[in-house]
Homo-oligomer: A and B are copies of this chain.
Amino acid sequence: MKIALDAMGTDNCPGPEVEGTVAAFPELPKDVSILLVGDETKIKPLLAKIPGAGSLPLSIHHTSVAVTMDESPAKALKSKPDSSMAITVGLQKKGVVQASISAGNTGAFMGSALFILGRIEKVNKPGICIAWPTPHGKPVAVIDCGAVADCKPVNLVQFGLMGSIFAHKALGIENPRVGLMNVGEESTKGNELASQTYPLLAAASAINFIGNLEGHDIMLNKADVIVCDGFVGNILLKFFESVPHLVKKLVGDTFKQDSFAPFRQAFNRDIYGGGDLLGVEGVVTICHGSSTGLAIKQAILKTYRMAQEKINDEIRRQICLLKETP
């Protein structure tokens, strides 16, 4: 298996990309290779400094074109067909690699993936699924964390199914519990979208739907998968990510104490392994622009599992079994 990694994505690229790639190899099977897509004049000197990097199953696909963070995704897609992220996805389309990772401009990467790879048949809209760390150790998969701001019930039902397959295959959770993000427990609660989605989730036999969840339930092991529209999911995710910063600001040096290790670990977004764009015809992992080497390493390891477990075959199979919903 070969994984393509856009080496021009992170804010400090290609440092974290190179570091994360080298760090990932010891935990990957021998037959997995990684293709770094980016400026070889920047990548090669970094690799040269790492002892033993020359013997790793690692190659470079050179391009000096990168999409910047503030670029309009639509414009980047059109005007930069040879950008590192477009090439990363394009190589998957051609079958040269089996998965693509980028920490660059999320909108542009998502657009490239959708445009180049396309959707899995019957998937109306792909969603971003992120495994959040939790205090109980087992992550909770939240889908959608920002792909689709305005959802229809059918989108949420499909997110529920894809999130469930993700939790099973990528996180190893048997019969994952799927909850609907809402403002109360009762089935009729919430906005129109949530109250219309509830009976559809309840009727979907492939989904182990456990009902509505409220904001305080997110981190409390009530569900393994949480379904919401991308507007709610994105706001929640970013708020969640700001919590360590807030706590640090409030408790000062206490944050560095050994007793704080479980907190630092539970709220460490570097261990997410990025977000997965579920529903496209390919394995696509989206990382934070601020990703560290550790974050990139974790993303590579999770992306490998996604490809290895053939999650898309399972999505393709199960999505056909869902009843048509409005």
Give the interface of A toward B (CB within 8 A): 135, 146, 149-150, 181-183, 190-192, 194, 214-220, 229-232, 234-243, 245-247, 249-254, 257, 259-260, 262-263, 266
Contact = CB atoms under 8 A, between A and B. Distances in A.
A239 B263 contact: no
Shortest 3 CB-CB distances between A and B: which pairs? A215-B238, A215-B239, A216-B242
B216 A241 contact: yes
* Identical subunits present: 2
Contacts of A215: 234-242
A192 B193 CA distance: 14
Contacts of A229: 191
A213 to B, nearest CB: 9
Given A183-B230, A251-B260, A149 B242 contact: no
18 contacts: A135-B246, A149-B194, A150-B191, A181-B235, A194-B231, A215-B235, A215-B239, A215-B241, A215-B242, A216-B241, A216-B242, A232-B232, A243-B243, A247-B247, A247-B263, A250-B263, A250-B266, A251-B263
B246 A254 contact: no
A235 B238 contact: no
Given A149-B190, A182-B235, A216-B245, 9 more contacts: A149-B194, A183-B231, A190-B231, A194-B231, A215-B242, A218-B242, A236-B236, A247-B247, A254-B259
A191 B182 CA distance: 17
The interface residues of chain A, by DSSP majority, are classed as: helix
A262 B182 CA distance: 31
A183 B148 CA distance: 11
Contacts of A247: 247, 263
Contacts of A254: 254, 257, 259-260
A64 B149 CA distance: 47
A219 B191 contact: no
Nearest to A72: B186
A260 B257 CA distance: 12
Given A183-B146, A251-B259, A263-B247, A220 B191 contact: no
A260 B251 CA distance: 6
Nearest to A151: B191
A228 to B, nearest CB: 8
Contact of A214 (B182, B238, B262, B263): B238
Nearest to A191: B149
A236 to B, nearest CB: 6
A253 B257 CA distance: 12
B259 A252 contact: yes
B262 A250 contact: yes
Contact of A220 (B183, B217, B242): B242
Nearest to A181: B235
Question: Which of A135, A192, A230, A235 has its CB near the most chain B CB atoms (within 10 A)?
Answer: A235
Question: Which of A231, A237, A249 has its CB near the most chain B CB atoms (within 10 A)?
Answer: A231
Contacts of A194: 149, 231
